[in-house]
Amino acid sequence: MCGIAGLLASAALDRSAAHVSSMLAALVHRGPDDTGIWSGDGSRVVLGHRRLAILDLSPAGHQPMPSASGRYQVAYNGEIYNFEGLRSELESAALAPQWRGHSDTEVLLAAIEAWGIEPTLQRLVGMFSLALWDRTERSLTLARDRMGEKPLYYGFIGDSFVFASEQKAIRAAFGERLQIDRDALAEFMRFGYIPAPKSIYTGIFKLQPGHWLRVAPHKGRELDTRPYWVVDNAAQQDLRAELINCHDDQLIDRVDQTLRESVRLEMVADVPLGAFLSGGVDSSTVVAMMQAQSSQRVRTFTIGFDEEGFNEAPFAKAVANHLGTDHTELYVSAHMAESVIPDLPHIYDEPFADSSQIPTTLVSRLTREHVTVSLSGDGGDELFAGYPRYPITEALWQRVSGYPKAMRRSVAGVLSTLSARDWDRVLGVMPASVRNRVNGRRVHRAAQLMTVSSLAEMYVRLMSQWQPEDDLVLGAGRPAVFAPQWVDEQDGVLAMRRWDMNQYLPDDLLVKVDRATMSASLEARAPMLDHRLVELAVALPRRVLVRDGVGKWVLRKVLDRYVPRELIDRPKAGFSIPLAQWLRGPLRNWAEALLDSKLLEEQGLLDAGKVREMWRQHIDGLYDRSLFLWNVLMFQAWLAAQGK
């Protein structure tokens, strides 16, 4: 795995290479093994690369790499898992050059020379972001993998088009010219991450998954951006019609075979390889398939907690023992978590507030001590409807929408008559056990849900912490009630899964994994995100996804072939930490300093009164406000790390 950076200027710049050099210095963690810079067209275009050597460890894998004809130059971050198949296809068609090594980068360039950029992208199986300079057309193309496993930021700064794997690289060269986008900040407070294509900086964007972009000096600031793949395309309709008539056992076989092939491809590496193992369905399935296809014991790694209700390490150990893996576990204390927190603003180089970033960072560091590549089960919940929130939200929408809207508005009006604080006073006489479930903010949330006009609005509200009506960010416009990338669907569970695949998965979960693993110079691979498995999962009939109120039915049936059900069956816990307790205990002083009223008022970005009220309620033990507060704290910590 690697890091890329570069720029394209409207005129020759004396400092172009120096700018890219400073950008690469900020990405050394993504590629500690090698660095390279290429400049062309009179220094108007500069490509930079930091290398973490995984395939072809020799100098033949050095980047930026030219194509055999010299027409193309590429800086590429990722892994093309089917590169050997593509290489054979090129050779069979007499389209292969004289190979210099056996890297996937060289195969990528040969494929582009033979077939063109978009046909090549559509052939690739893998995770990647790339920058390709075309000497003939004098154009720069950026592209990103289908599911968004590898990041890519871009934008214009002055007359230069810049790009990089992480924003910290852009900040290293152009930091004094970057400004916070308050609308993006409002989205962050809402979700705990910033949905693509926005970033925390005005004018800097994320290339969306499954898209490519072309820019040329002679076209000024004009950008040609288009998708080369979407989660649910026209071919999916035909596949869905085919699968609906298949027997359940046939569908189980098909999922088994497709995932097994994905795991096989992703086990190819010239360096030590292992896997994250939580003991849940997704990671256990991946590890079981790895062990079934390996002649050696697979290395597995897990994180545990002393706090009851958060510790899944014993389950992971039981699965590891059954499969016979070489298992390593690390128990995380509040002190260990506290020691990681100062690193988070640098690791997550724009504000990011999924608190499982802490154990993910720690397990990445543990794993890197033993291997260079680690497979994970990421994507299983979105692909196979594993989240309990899917059927729960669908049932809630069906119940709410069954009442006349006028009646719902009347009830919501009554609930909204009192402010959240006044409701808290009224409910203050209730026992603490009741107050933790019913409080002013939840009463207002219930009123909002009573008036929603669609499943989309309901789901996105439930996926939000701070709501648009909170107006927490000063000077920000109020966003639409529900986010884009929603496709109306008669099957509500499919609609929610599709939204998660388009936003929550790439902008939250995959950001968390990429930054945490790359901060430790560890490559993470997610076999569940092979686009062929994604297309299959989206086309599966609902009956094999959610059955008797339990999700991932078909994947559980696949896992039954490898691991006894009693080792897996338990309530879903997620990869979470005891955040509420820690904020009232060992993290309290750190949080108090960042939430200081005077500091918030001086910064002029957040409503200090609303933040302090949330903090008071949490510290006094009235309510658990940890998710709201963590969003604010992660932004404040990020801001402090920028020296602001």
- Per residue in 375-384, pLDDT (tens digit) is 999 999 999 9
Percent of the chain with pLDDT over 70: 89
**Nearest-10 crossing angle of helices 420-427, 440-450:** 120
Task: Give me the domains of the chain, ranges plus CATH numbers.
Answer: 2-227 (3.60.20.10), 234-386+494-567 (3.40.50.620), 390-491 (no CATH), 579-641 (no CATH)
Residue 231 CB partners (closer than 8 Å, separation 6+)? 210, 498, 501, 502, 534, 538
CB 577 within 8 A of CB 356: yes
Strands (E), 438-499: none
Q: What is the model's pLDDT at position 353?
A: 96
Q: How many CA atoms lie within 13 A of 279 on its CB side?
A: 29
CB 63 within 8 A of CB 6: no
C-alpha distances out from residue 644 to 18, 240, 455, 605, Å: 26, 52, 40, 11
Dihedral Cα 140, 146, 152, 156, nearest 10 deg = 50
Burial, 574: exposed, middle or buried (Cβ in 10 Å; 0-12, 13-18, 19+)?
exposed
Query: What integer best gives the mean pLDDT of the chain?
Result: 89
The sign of the dihedral angle between the CA atoms of 524, 530, 535, 541 is: negative
Catalytic machinery residues: 2
For residue 320, pLDDT over 60 is answered with: yes
Which of 504, 292, 477, 488 shows the shortest CA–CA distance to 379? 504
For residue 61, pLDDT over 80 is answered with: no
Global pTM reads 0.92
Q: What is the model's pLDDT at position 271?
A: 85
Structure confidence by residue, pLDDT tens digits, 569-586? 866 555 567 889 889 998
Burial, 329: exposed, middle or buried (Cβ in 10 Å; 0-12, 13-18, 19+)?
middle
H helix intervals, 192-342: 234-243, 248-266, 281-292, 313-323, 334-340
CB 375 within 8 A of CB 269: no
pLDDT band of residue 65 (cuts 50, 70, 90) is very high
Structure confidence by residue, pLDDT tens digits, 599-625? 999 999 999 999 999 999 999 988 889
Q: What is the model's pLDDT at position 34?
A: 84
For residue 87, pLDDT over 80 is answered with: yes
Mean pLDDT computed over 293-307: 89
Q: What is the model's pLDDT at position 58?
A: 64
CB 320 within 8 A of CB 327: yes
DSSP character for 506?
I
pLDDT band of residue 128 (cuts 50, 70, 90) is very high
CB 371 within 8 A of CB 365: no
Residue 324 Rama label (left phi>0; alpha psi -120 to 50; beta):
left
Structure confidence by residue, pLDDT tens digits, 414-423? 766 766 666 6
For residue 25, pLDDT over 70 is answered with: yes
Residue 490 CB partners (closer than 8 Å, separation 6+)? none
pLDDT band of residue 69 (cuts 50, 70, 90) is very high
Mean pLDDT computed over 231-238: 74
Residue 352 CB partners (closer than 8 Å, separation 6+)? 192, 193, 344, 511, 512, 515, 634
Local structure of 421: helix, strand or coil: helix
The structure tokens listed for 110 are 């040969």
Q: What is the model's pLDDT at position 190?
A: 95
β-pairing verdict for 273-276 and 373-375: parallel
pLDDT band of residue 78 (cuts 50, 70, 90) is very high
